[in-house]
A and B are shown apart, each in its own frame.
Chain A
Protein backbone atom coordinates (compact mmCIF):
# COMPACT_ATOMS: atom_id res chain seq x y z
CA UNK A 1 0.00 0.00 0.00
CA UNK A 2 1.18 3.48 -0.78
CA UNK A 3 2.45 5.10 2.41
CA UNK A 4 0.51 8.26 1.62
CA UNK A 5 -2.81 6.48 1.85
CA UNK A 6 -1.85 4.12 4.62
CA UNK A 7 -2.15 6.85 7.22
CA UNK A 8 -5.34 8.51 6.09
CA UNK A 9 -7.64 6.68 8.52
CA UNK A 10 -5.15 6.58 11.37
CA UNK A 11 -6.40 7.34 14.84
CA UNK A 12 -4.08 8.44 17.63
CA UNK A 13 -3.51 4.87 18.83
CA UNK A 14 -2.51 3.86 15.30
CA UNK A 15 0.12 6.58 15.09
CA UNK A 16 1.35 5.59 18.53
CA UNK A 17 1.76 2.06 17.25
CA UNK A 18 3.52 2.87 13.99
CA UNK A 19 7.29 2.39 13.83
CA UNK A 20 7.81 4.76 10.91
CA UNK A 21 6.01 7.50 12.84
CA UNK A 22 7.87 6.76 16.10
CA UNK A 23 11.15 6.82 14.22
CA UNK A 24 10.33 10.31 12.96
CA UNK A 25 9.50 11.56 16.48
CA UNK A 26 12.60 10.10 18.13
CA UNK A 27 15.14 10.46 15.35
CA UNK A 28 13.91 12.71 12.60
CA UNK A 29 15.97 12.26 9.45
CA UNK A 30 15.77 13.62 5.95
CA UNK A 31 13.49 10.89 4.72
CA UNK A 32 11.04 10.89 7.63
CA UNK A 33 10.95 14.67 7.82
CA UNK A 34 10.19 14.91 4.15
CA UNK A 35 7.38 12.42 4.39
CA UNK A 36 5.67 13.62 7.56
CA UNK A 37 5.90 17.35 6.91
CA UNK A 38 4.40 16.77 3.51
CA UNK A 39 1.73 14.59 5.03
CA UNK A 40 0.73 17.28 7.53
CA UNK A 41 0.64 19.81 4.74
CA UNK A 42 -1.79 17.63 2.81
CA UNK A 43 -3.87 16.74 5.87
CA UNK A 44 -3.91 19.91 7.98
CA UNK A 45 -6.99 18.81 9.93
CA UNK A 46 -4.99 15.86 11.31
CA UNK A 47 -2.23 18.01 12.70
CA UNK A 48 -3.54 18.07 16.32
CA UNK A 49 -3.77 14.27 16.43
CA UNK A 50 -0.27 13.94 15.07
CA UNK A 51 1.00 16.53 17.49
CA UNK A 52 -0.58 14.72 20.44
CA UNK A 53 0.88 11.40 19.40
CA UNK A 54 4.27 13.06 19.02
CA UNK A 55 4.09 14.51 22.49
CA UNK A 56 3.06 11.24 24.08
CA UNK A 57 5.95 9.39 22.50
CA UNK A 58 8.42 12.06 23.58
CA UNK A 59 7.21 12.31 27.19
CA UNK A 60 7.47 8.63 28.12
CA UNK A 61 10.38 8.01 30.46
CA UNK A 62 11.44 5.71 33.25
CA UNK A 63 10.03 6.82 36.57
CA UNK A 64 13.07 5.49 38.37
CA UNK A 65 16.30 5.67 36.46
CA UNK A 66 19.18 3.86 38.11
CA UNK A 67 22.63 5.24 37.54
CA UNK A 68 25.82 3.26 37.70
CA UNK A 69 28.28 5.21 39.86
CA UNK A 70 31.53 6.37 38.27
CA UNK A 71 33.45 4.01 40.50
CA UNK A 72 31.26 1.02 39.65
CA UNK A 73 31.47 1.95 35.98
CA UNK A 74 35.26 1.83 36.06
CA UNK A 75 35.56 -1.20 38.32
CA UNK A 76 33.16 -3.17 36.18
CA UNK A 77 35.12 -2.33 33.05
CA UNK A 78 38.40 -3.36 34.59
CA UNK A 79 36.92 -6.58 35.96
CA UNK A 80 35.51 -7.49 32.56
CA UNK A 81 38.79 -6.91 30.78
CA UNK A 82 40.81 -8.71 33.43
CA UNK A 83 38.49 -11.70 33.75
CA UNK A 84 38.15 -12.25 30.05
CA UNK A 85 41.92 -12.32 29.64
CA UNK A 86 42.81 -14.41 32.68
CA UNK A 87 40.82 -17.41 31.64
CA UNK A 88 41.62 -17.33 28.01
CA UNK A 89 41.17 -20.80 26.59
CA UNK A 90 44.36 -20.73 24.51
CA UNK A 91 46.44 -20.31 27.65
CA UNK A 92 48.21 -17.24 26.37
CA UNK A 93 49.93 -15.13 28.98
CA UNK A 94 48.27 -12.08 30.25
CA UNK A 95 49.75 -9.18 32.15
CA UNK A 96 47.54 -6.40 33.34
CA UNK A 97 50.23 -3.79 32.92
CA UNK A 98 50.97 -5.04 29.43
CA UNK A 99 47.36 -4.72 28.47
CA UNK A 100 47.15 -1.33 29.99
CA UNK A 101 49.94 -0.05 27.82
CA UNK A 102 48.30 -1.50 24.76
CA UNK A 103 45.11 0.18 25.75
CA UNK A 104 46.87 3.49 25.70
CA UNK A 105 47.13 3.10 21.95
CA UNK A 106 43.39 3.49 21.84
CA UNK A 107 43.57 6.94 23.28
CA UNK A 108 46.93 8.33 22.31
CA UNK A 109 49.30 8.06 19.46
CA UNK A 110 52.70 7.25 20.86
CA UNK A 111 55.97 5.57 20.14
CA UNK A 112 57.26 3.02 22.60
CA UNK A 113 60.90 3.89 22.16
CA UNK A 114 60.22 7.54 22.69
CA UNK A 115 58.15 6.72 25.76
CA UNK A 116 60.89 4.77 27.49
CA UNK A 117 63.37 7.46 26.60
CA UNK A 118 61.27 10.10 28.31
CA UNK A 119 60.87 7.97 31.43
CA UNK A 120 64.61 7.48 31.74
CA UNK A 121 65.41 11.11 31.17
CA UNK A 122 62.85 12.25 33.66
CA UNK A 123 64.22 9.98 36.38
CA UNK A 124 67.69 11.32 35.75
CA UNK A 125 66.55 14.93 35.91
CA UNK A 126 64.72 14.28 39.15
CA UNK A 127 67.65 12.65 40.86
CA UNK A 128 70.01 15.41 39.72
CA UNK A 129 67.60 18.05 40.95
CA UNK A 130 67.27 16.41 44.30
CA UNK A 131 71.02 16.35 44.80
CA UNK A 132 71.53 20.07 44.53
CA UNK A 133 68.19 21.70 45.11
CA UNK A 134 66.16 22.66 48.14
CA UNK A 135 62.47 22.12 47.48
CA UNK A 136 59.82 24.38 48.95
CA UNK A 137 56.23 23.33 49.36
CA UNK A 138 53.03 25.36 49.53
CA UNK A 139 50.18 23.31 50.90
CA UNK A 140 46.69 24.80 51.03
CA UNK A 141 44.11 23.22 53.30
CA UNK A 142 40.44 23.26 52.31
CA UNK A 143 38.98 26.75 52.60
CA UNK A 144 42.22 28.53 51.74
CA UNK A 145 43.54 29.87 48.45
CA UNK A 146 46.92 31.45 47.90
CA UNK A 147 48.56 33.55 45.21
CA UNK A 148 52.33 33.82 44.98
CA UNK A 149 55.32 34.05 42.65
CA UNK A 150 57.87 31.38 41.82
CA UNK A 151 61.60 32.26 41.63
CA UNK A 152 61.31 32.91 37.87
CA UNK A 153 58.47 35.37 38.29
CA UNK A 154 55.73 32.91 37.33
CA UNK A 155 52.45 33.65 39.08
CA UNK A 156 50.68 30.76 40.75
CA UNK A 157 47.13 30.88 42.09
CA UNK A 158 46.87 27.79 44.22
CA UNK A 159 43.34 26.60 44.93
CA UNK A 160 42.08 25.21 48.23
CA UNK A 161 43.06 21.64 49.09
CA UNK A 162 46.00 21.79 46.71
CA UNK A 163 49.76 21.81 47.00
CA UNK A 164 52.77 22.66 44.93
CA UNK A 165 56.47 21.95 45.39
CA UNK A 166 59.16 23.98 43.65
CA UNK A 167 62.94 24.40 43.92
CA UNK A 168 64.31 27.40 45.75
CA UNK A 169 66.19 28.24 42.57
CA UNK A 170 65.48 27.18 39.04
CA UNK A 171 69.04 26.43 38.04
CA UNK A 172 68.60 23.40 35.76
CA UNK A 173 67.82 23.22 32.06
CA UNK A 174 64.18 23.10 32.97
CA UNK A 175 61.97 24.85 35.49
CA UNK A 176 60.40 21.84 37.15
CA UNK A 177 57.62 21.95 39.74
CA UNK A 178 55.30 19.31 41.14
CA UNK A 179 51.71 19.78 42.11
CA UNK A 180 48.52 18.21 43.33
CA UNK A 181 45.03 19.60 43.21
CA UNK A 182 44.30 22.74 41.22
CA UNK A 183 46.31 25.80 40.26
CA UNK A 184 46.26 28.59 37.73
CA UNK A 185 49.67 29.34 36.23
CA UNK A 186 50.83 32.48 34.50
CA UNK A 187 54.24 31.34 33.36
CA UNK A 188 57.02 33.83 32.70
CA UNK A 189 58.40 33.48 29.18
CA UNK A 190 61.77 31.81 28.89
CA UNK A 191 62.29 30.07 25.54
CA UNK A 192 65.52 28.48 26.74
CA UNK A 193 64.17 26.91 29.89
CA UNK A 194 60.88 25.06 29.51
CA UNK A 195 58.56 25.16 32.49
CA UNK A 196 57.63 21.61 33.43
CA UNK A 197 54.90 20.47 35.81
CA UNK A 198 55.15 16.90 36.97
CA UNK A 199 52.12 15.13 38.30
CA UNK A 200 51.57 11.42 38.73
CA UNK A 201 51.51 10.16 35.18
CA UNK A 202 51.56 13.40 33.30
CA UNK A 203 54.18 15.94 32.48
CA UNK A 204 53.14 19.38 31.31
CA UNK A 205 55.71 21.36 29.37
CA UNK A 206 55.38 25.03 28.45
CA UNK A 207 57.60 27.92 27.50
CA UNK A 208 55.48 30.89 28.58
CA UNK A 209 51.74 30.86 28.84
CA UNK A 210 48.78 30.87 31.21
CA UNK A 211 46.52 27.96 32.01
CA UNK A 212 44.51 26.25 34.68
CA UNK A 213 45.54 22.79 35.78
CA UNK A 214 43.49 20.49 37.93
CA UNK A 215 44.70 17.11 39.00
CA UNK A 216 42.20 15.41 41.23
CA UNK A 217 40.04 12.49 40.15
CA UNK A 218 40.74 13.53 36.59
CA UNK A 219 43.43 15.55 34.93
CA UNK A 220 42.08 18.77 33.45
CA UNK A 221 44.11 21.41 31.71
CA UNK A 222 42.51 24.55 30.28
CA UNK A 223 44.76 26.77 28.21
CA UNK A 224 44.27 30.55 28.06
CA UNK A 225 47.20 31.51 25.89
CA UNK A 226 50.43 30.11 24.54
CA UNK A 227 51.02 26.45 23.87
CA UNK A 228 51.22 23.45 26.16
CA UNK A 229 52.45 19.92 25.69
CA UNK A 230 51.23 17.09 27.88
CA UNK A 231 53.19 13.83 27.94
CA UNK A 232 52.01 10.76 29.82
CA UNK A 233 54.12 7.93 31.22
CA UNK A 234 53.82 5.98 28.00
CA UNK A 235 55.31 8.88 26.09
CA UNK A 236 52.08 9.97 24.44
CA UNK A 237 52.21 13.70 23.78
CA UNK A 238 49.21 15.95 23.32
CA UNK A 239 49.54 19.55 22.24
CA UNK A 240 47.03 22.09 23.42
CA UNK A 241 46.21 25.42 21.78
CA UNK A 242 44.53 28.45 23.38
CA UNK A 243 40.89 27.99 24.45
CA UNK A 244 41.27 24.24 24.42
CA UNK A 245 40.83 22.05 27.45
CA UNK A 246 42.28 18.60 27.83
CA UNK A 247 40.57 16.12 30.11
CA UNK A 248 42.12 12.78 30.95
CA UNK A 249 39.88 10.66 33.05
CA UNK A 250 40.95 8.01 35.46
CA UNK A 251 39.38 5.38 33.25
CA UNK A 252 41.81 6.29 30.50
CA UNK A 253 39.54 8.45 28.42
CA UNK A 254 41.08 11.50 26.81
CA UNK A 255 39.02 14.45 25.63
CA UNK A 256 39.66 17.84 24.11
CA UNK A 257 36.91 20.43 24.43
CA UNK A 258 36.41 24.13 24.66
CA UNK A 259 35.54 25.62 28.03
CA UNK A 260 33.85 28.41 29.90
CA UNK A 261 36.63 30.46 31.55
CA UNK A 262 34.47 31.52 34.48
CA UNK A 263 33.53 27.94 35.20
CA UNK A 264 37.07 26.65 35.00
CA UNK A 265 39.14 29.34 36.68
CA UNK A 266 36.63 31.76 38.12
CA UNK A 267 37.79 30.36 41.46
CA UNK A 268 40.97 32.41 41.37
CA UNK A 269 38.90 35.60 41.25
CA UNK A 270 36.65 34.41 44.06
CA UNK A 271 33.84 33.06 41.89
CA UNK A 272 32.30 29.92 43.27
CA UNK A 273 30.57 28.31 40.29
CA UNK A 274 28.09 25.47 40.16
CA UNK A 275 27.11 24.23 36.75
CA UNK A 276 24.58 21.42 36.52
CA UNK A 277 26.30 19.95 39.53
CA UNK A 278 24.96 16.88 41.27
CA UNK A 279 24.16 17.12 44.96
CA UNK A 280 27.34 15.33 46.11
CA UNK A 281 29.35 17.61 43.83
CA UNK A 282 27.72 20.75 45.27
CA UNK A 283 28.48 19.53 48.80
CA UNK A 284 32.06 18.68 47.89
CA UNK A 285 32.65 22.07 46.29
CA UNK A 286 31.36 23.92 49.36
CA UNK A 287 33.45 21.77 51.69
CA UNK A 288 36.63 22.52 49.77
CA UNK A 289 35.77 26.18 49.18
CA UNK A 290 34.89 27.04 52.76
CA UNK A 291 36.92 24.40 54.55
CA UNK A 292 33.93 22.97 56.37
CA UNK A 293 32.47 19.52 56.89
CA UNK A 294 28.91 19.11 55.66
CA UNK A 295 26.62 16.47 57.06
CA UNK A 296 23.49 16.08 55.03
CA UNK A 297 20.37 14.05 55.66
CA UNK A 298 18.57 15.80 52.83
CA UNK A 299 16.73 13.56 50.41
CA UNK A 300 17.21 14.85 46.90
CA UNK A 301 15.38 13.77 43.79
CA UNK A 302 17.17 11.71 41.24
CA UNK A 303 18.42 14.03 38.56
CA UNK A 304 18.81 16.87 41.05
CA UNK A 305 21.22 19.43 39.75
CA UNK A 306 22.19 22.96 40.62
CA UNK A 307 23.68 25.86 38.75
CA UNK A 308 24.66 29.14 40.32
CA UNK A 309 27.49 31.63 40.66
CA UNK A 310 28.64 33.33 43.87
CA UNK A 311 31.20 36.09 43.91
CA UNK A 312 32.94 36.63 47.22
CA UNK A 313 29.97 35.35 49.20
CA UNK A 314 30.10 33.85 52.68
CA UNK A 315 28.91 30.32 53.38
CA UNK A 316 25.48 31.22 54.74
CA UNK A 317 24.63 33.24 51.64
CA UNK A 318 25.61 30.39 49.36
CA UNK A 319 23.52 27.97 51.42
CA UNK A 320 20.61 30.42 51.32
CA UNK A 321 20.91 30.62 47.55
CA UNK A 322 20.92 26.87 47.03
CA UNK A 323 18.10 26.29 49.52
CA UNK A 324 15.80 28.55 47.50
CA UNK A 325 15.57 26.02 44.73
CA UNK A 326 15.80 22.86 46.77
CA UNK A 327 14.19 23.81 50.08
CA UNK A 328 16.31 22.63 52.96
CA UNK A 329 17.22 23.72 56.45
CA UNK A 330 20.79 24.17 57.51
CA UNK A 331 22.74 24.88 60.67
CA UNK A 332 26.28 26.18 60.83
CA UNK A 333 28.18 25.32 63.94
CA UNK A 334 31.84 26.26 63.79
CA UNK A 335 33.30 24.27 60.91
CA UNK A 336 30.40 21.90 60.65
CA UNK A 337 27.27 22.36 58.57
CA UNK A 338 24.19 20.22 58.91
CA UNK A 339 21.67 20.12 56.09
CA UNK A 340 18.29 18.49 56.54
CA UNK A 341 14.80 18.39 55.10
CA UNK A 342 12.69 21.35 56.23
Chain B
Protein backbone atom coordinates (compact mmCIF):
# COMPACT_ATOMS: atom_id res chain seq x y z
CA UNK B 1 0.00 0.00 0.00
CA UNK B 2 1.44 3.32 -1.01
CA UNK B 3 1.14 6.02 1.56
CA UNK B 4 0.83 9.67 1.00
CA UNK B 5 1.63 12.02 3.77
CA UNK B 6 1.99 15.72 3.83
CA UNK B 7 5.40 16.73 4.94
CA UNK B 8 6.16 20.27 5.99
CA UNK B 9 6.55 22.68 3.14
CA UNK B 10 10.22 23.21 3.79
CA UNK B 11 11.12 19.65 2.85
CA UNK B 12 10.31 17.93 -0.40
CA UNK B 13 6.63 17.66 -1.05
CA UNK B 14 5.41 14.10 -1.29
CA UNK B 15 1.83 14.66 -2.08
CA UNK B 16 -0.34 12.08 -3.74
CA UNK B 17 0.30 13.54 -7.14
CA UNK B 18 3.45 12.78 -9.01
CA UNK B 19 3.34 15.95 -11.00
CA UNK B 20 4.13 17.93 -7.95
CA UNK B 21 7.64 16.71 -7.59
CA UNK B 22 10.50 19.00 -8.44
CA UNK B 23 8.42 21.36 -10.50
CA UNK B 24 10.11 24.67 -10.86
CA UNK B 25 7.02 26.43 -9.66
CA UNK B 26 6.97 24.23 -6.60
CA UNK B 27 10.61 24.93 -5.91
CA UNK B 28 10.08 28.66 -6.01
CA UNK B 29 7.06 28.57 -3.73
CA UNK B 30 8.01 25.87 -1.27
CA UNK B 31 10.55 28.28 0.13
CA UNK B 32 7.88 30.80 0.93
CA UNK B 33 5.53 30.88 3.87
CA UNK B 34 1.82 30.30 3.36
CA UNK B 35 1.22 33.94 4.10
CA UNK B 36 3.61 35.04 1.34
CA UNK B 37 2.14 32.60 -1.18
CA UNK B 38 -1.33 33.82 -0.36
CA UNK B 39 -0.30 37.45 -0.73
CA UNK B 40 1.15 36.66 -4.18
CA UNK B 41 -2.08 34.91 -5.11
CA UNK B 42 -4.11 37.92 -3.97
CA UNK B 43 -2.03 40.21 -6.14
CA UNK B 44 -2.95 38.09 -9.17
CA UNK B 45 0.17 35.96 -9.49
CA UNK B 46 -0.77 32.98 -11.69
CA UNK B 47 2.19 30.95 -10.49
CA UNK B 48 1.00 31.30 -6.91
CA UNK B 49 -2.43 30.05 -7.87
CA UNK B 50 -0.88 27.20 -9.83
CA UNK B 51 1.09 26.22 -6.74
CA UNK B 52 -1.95 26.38 -4.48
CA UNK B 53 -3.96 24.25 -6.87
CA UNK B 54 -1.27 21.60 -7.23
CA UNK B 55 -0.59 21.40 -3.56
CA UNK B 56 -4.11 21.17 -2.21
CA UNK B 57 -6.55 20.00 -4.86
CA UNK B 58 -5.93 16.27 -4.26
CA UNK B 59 -6.56 16.54 -0.51
CA UNK B 60 -9.65 18.66 -1.05
CA UNK B 61 -11.02 16.23 -3.62
CA UNK B 62 -10.46 13.29 -1.30
CA UNK B 63 -12.10 15.20 1.55
CA UNK B 64 -15.15 15.98 -0.54
CA UNK B 65 -15.47 12.38 -1.68
CA UNK B 66 -15.60 11.26 1.95
CA UNK B 67 -18.76 13.30 2.31
CA UNK B 68 -20.40 12.72 -1.06
CA UNK B 69 -19.19 10.01 -3.39
CA UNK B 70 -20.31 11.74 -6.56
CA UNK B 71 -17.13 12.65 -8.32
CA UNK B 72 -18.63 15.08 -10.79
CA UNK B 73 -20.35 17.02 -8.08
CA UNK B 74 -17.16 17.27 -6.05
CA UNK B 75 -15.28 18.46 -9.11
CA UNK B 76 -17.96 21.08 -9.87
CA UNK B 77 -17.81 22.26 -6.31
CA UNK B 78 -14.01 22.53 -6.38
CA UNK B 79 -14.25 24.45 -9.62
CA UNK B 80 -16.77 26.87 -8.19
CA UNK B 81 -14.70 27.43 -5.07
CA UNK B 82 -11.48 28.14 -6.95
CA UNK B 83 -13.21 30.34 -9.53
CA UNK B 84 -14.82 32.36 -6.74
CA UNK B 85 -11.52 32.71 -4.93
CA UNK B 86 -9.84 33.91 -8.10
CA UNK B 87 -12.57 36.38 -8.94
CA UNK B 88 -12.46 37.88 -5.47
CA UNK B 89 -8.77 37.44 -4.92
CA UNK B 90 -8.00 41.09 -4.29
CA UNK B 91 -10.66 41.27 -1.59
CA UNK B 92 -9.57 38.17 0.33
CA UNK B 93 -8.15 38.49 3.80
CA UNK B 94 -4.74 37.36 4.97
CA UNK B 95 -4.28 33.66 5.50
CA UNK B 96 -1.73 32.04 7.80
CA UNK B 97 -2.29 28.45 6.73
CA UNK B 98 -3.71 27.93 3.28
CA UNK B 99 -4.74 24.33 3.85
CA UNK B 100 -6.95 25.06 6.84
CA UNK B 101 -8.49 28.01 5.04
CA UNK B 102 -9.26 26.01 1.88
CA UNK B 103 -10.73 23.13 3.86
CA UNK B 104 -13.02 25.54 5.68
CA UNK B 105 -14.17 27.29 2.53
CA UNK B 106 -14.57 24.01 0.67
CA UNK B 107 -16.56 22.35 3.44
CA UNK B 108 -18.95 25.30 3.58
CA UNK B 109 -19.19 25.46 -0.20
CA UNK B 110 -19.84 21.73 -0.48
CA UNK B 111 -22.79 21.75 1.89
CA UNK B 112 -24.25 24.80 0.17
CA UNK B 113 -23.76 23.07 -3.13
CA UNK B 114 -25.35 19.82 -1.96
CA UNK B 115 -28.35 21.66 -0.61
CA UNK B 116 -28.88 23.49 -3.87
CA UNK B 117 -28.36 20.42 -6.02
CA UNK B 118 -30.76 18.39 -3.92
CA UNK B 119 -33.48 20.96 -4.52
CA UNK B 120 -33.01 20.69 -8.26
CA UNK B 121 -32.44 17.01 -8.42
CA UNK B 122 -33.67 15.33 -5.30
CA UNK B 123 -33.35 11.82 -6.69
CA UNK B 124 -29.88 12.11 -8.08
CA UNK B 125 -28.08 13.64 -5.16
CA UNK B 126 -27.76 11.43 -2.18
CA UNK B 127 -25.69 12.47 0.75
CA UNK B 128 -23.61 9.60 2.02
CA UNK B 129 -24.98 7.85 5.00
CA UNK B 130 -23.02 9.46 7.82
CA UNK B 131 -21.75 6.11 8.97
CA UNK B 132 -19.91 5.71 5.70
CA UNK B 133 -17.95 8.91 5.94
CA UNK B 134 -14.34 9.24 7.05
CA UNK B 135 -13.54 5.59 7.59
CA UNK B 136 -10.15 5.01 9.11
CA UNK B 137 -7.47 2.52 8.31
CA UNK B 138 -4.44 1.84 10.46
CA UNK B 139 -1.54 1.58 8.09
CA UNK B 140 0.57 -1.54 8.41
CA UNK B 141 3.57 0.07 6.95
CA UNK B 142 5.98 1.47 9.43
CA UNK B 143 9.66 2.06 9.60
CA UNK B 144 9.99 1.46 13.30
CA UNK B 145 12.00 -1.50 14.45
CA UNK B 146 10.41 -1.83 17.84
CA UNK B 147 6.73 -1.69 17.26
CA UNK B 148 4.48 -1.37 20.23
CA UNK B 149 1.50 -2.77 18.35
CA UNK B 150 1.12 -6.12 16.68
CA UNK B 151 -0.81 -6.33 13.43
CA UNK B 152 -3.91 -7.76 15.15
CA UNK B 153 -3.86 -4.86 17.57
CA UNK B 154 -3.70 -2.37 14.76
CA UNK B 155 -6.69 -3.98 13.14
CA UNK B 156 -8.51 -3.92 16.44
CA UNK B 157 -7.72 -0.21 16.81
CA UNK B 158 -9.05 0.45 13.31
CA UNK B 159 -12.21 -1.46 14.14
CA UNK B 160 -12.77 0.49 17.30
CA UNK B 161 -12.09 3.79 15.54
CA UNK B 162 -14.61 3.00 12.85
CA UNK B 163 -17.27 2.36 15.48
CA UNK B 164 -16.86 5.89 16.84
CA UNK B 165 -19.37 8.59 15.91
CA UNK B 166 -18.62 10.13 12.51
CA UNK B 167 -17.69 13.50 13.93
CA UNK B 168 -15.05 11.94 16.15
CA UNK B 169 -13.58 9.98 13.24
CA UNK B 170 -13.53 13.12 11.14
CA UNK B 171 -11.79 15.13 13.83
CA UNK B 172 -9.20 12.37 14.32
CA UNK B 173 -8.43 12.17 10.62
CA UNK B 174 -8.26 15.95 10.31
CA UNK B 175 -5.87 16.13 13.24
CA UNK B 176 -3.50 13.24 12.52
CA UNK B 177 -3.74 12.73 8.81
CA UNK B 178 -4.50 16.19 7.40
CA UNK B 179 -2.43 17.77 10.18
CA UNK B 180 -4.90 20.54 10.86
CA UNK B 181 -4.86 22.28 14.23
CA UNK B 182 -7.82 22.16 16.63
CA UNK B 183 -8.56 25.74 15.67
CA UNK B 184 -8.69 24.80 12.01
CA UNK B 185 -10.74 21.69 12.70
CA UNK B 186 -13.24 23.79 14.65
CA UNK B 187 -13.47 26.16 11.69
CA UNK B 188 -13.90 23.38 9.14
CA UNK B 189 -16.50 21.56 11.23
CA UNK B 190 -18.23 24.80 12.11
CA UNK B 191 -17.83 24.63 15.88
CA UNK B 192 -18.07 27.95 17.66
CA UNK B 193 -15.42 26.85 20.15
CA UNK B 194 -12.01 25.31 19.56
CA UNK B 195 -12.53 23.31 22.74
CA UNK B 196 -15.23 21.26 21.03
CA UNK B 197 -12.73 19.86 18.53
CA UNK B 198 -10.25 19.08 21.28
CA UNK B 199 -12.90 17.31 23.35
CA UNK B 200 -14.07 15.22 20.40
CA UNK B 201 -10.62 13.73 19.98
CA UNK B 202 -10.04 13.34 23.70
CA UNK B 203 -13.28 11.42 24.24
CA UNK B 204 -12.42 9.08 21.40
CA UNK B 205 -8.95 8.37 22.69
CA UNK B 206 -10.18 7.84 26.22
CA UNK B 207 -12.65 5.30 24.91
CA UNK B 208 -9.95 3.39 23.05
CA UNK B 209 -7.52 3.46 25.93
CA UNK B 210 -8.19 -0.15 26.91
CA UNK B 211 -7.17 -1.39 23.51
CA UNK B 212 -4.05 0.77 23.54
CA UNK B 213 -2.93 -0.64 26.84
CA UNK B 214 -3.02 -4.31 25.94
CA UNK B 215 0.51 -5.68 26.08
CA UNK B 216 1.93 -6.92 22.84
CA UNK B 217 1.82 -10.70 22.80
Neighbour of B47 across the interface among A89, A106, A257, CB < 8 A: A106
A207 to B126, CA, bound (A): 62
- Minimum CB distance partner of A255 in chain B: B22
Could you give, for residues 275-313 of chain A, a 1 whenever the CB lies within 8 Å of some chain B CB and a 0 otherwise?
A: 010000000000000000000000001010100000000
B residues neighboring A (CB under 8 Å): 1-4, 7-8, 16-17, 19, 21-25, 46-47, 50, 53, 57-58, 61-62, 65-66, 69, 71, 75, 78-79, 82-83, 86-87, 134-139, 142, 144, 146-149, 154, 157-158, 161-162, 172-173, 175-177, 179, 181-182, 198, 201-202, 205-206, 209, 212-213
Q: Are A80 and B75 in contact (CB under 8 A)?
A: no
Measured between C-beta atoms, what is the minimum distance from B158 to chain A in Å?
A: 8
- Residue in contact with A83 in the complex, picked from B4, B79, B157, B179, CB distance below 8 Å: B79
Residue among A80, A89, A276 having the largest count of chain B Cβ atoms under 10 Å: A80
Closest residue of chain A to B211, judged by CB?
A: A56
In Å, the complex CA distance between A57 and B137 comes to: 12
A60-B176 contact, Cβ under 8 Å, with A12-B205, A67-B16, A80-B82: yes
- List 7 interface pairs A-B (beta carbons < 8 Å), by A numbering: A52-B149, A60-B173, A61-B138, A62-B136, A64-B65, A66-B66, A68-B61
B79 to chain A, nearest CB (A): 5
Contact count A vs B, C-beta below 8 Å? 158
Q: Say yes or no for A318: interface residue by CB 8 A criterion.
A: no
One of A16-24, A146-154, A187-195, A265-273 contacting the partner: A16-24
Name B's interface SS: helix
In the complex, chain A residues 41-80 whose Cβ is within 8 Å of any chain B Cβ: 48, 51-52, 55-68, 70, 72-73, 76-77, 79-80
Contact across chains for A76 and B83 when beta carbons are under 8 A apart: no
Chain A interface residue bracket vs B: 35 or more
Q: Is the pair B149, A55 in contact by a Cβ cutoff of 8 Å?
A: yes
Chain B nearest Cβ from A81, distance in angstroms: 8
Known A-B contacts: A55-B142, A67-B61, A88-B87. Give 9 more (CB < 8 A). Answer: A12-B205, A59-B142, A66-B69, A68-B57, A80-B53, A87-B87, A251-B19, A253-B19, A254-B24
Q: Please pick, from B2, B4, B148, the residue contacting A51 in the complex, using a CB distance under 8 A.
A: B148
Give A contacts to B, CB under 8 Å.
Answer: 11-13, 16-17, 19, 22, 26-27, 29, 48, 51-52, 55-68, 70, 72-73, 76-77, 79-81, 83-84, 87-89, 102-103, 106-107, 249, 251, 253-257, 276, 301, 303, 305
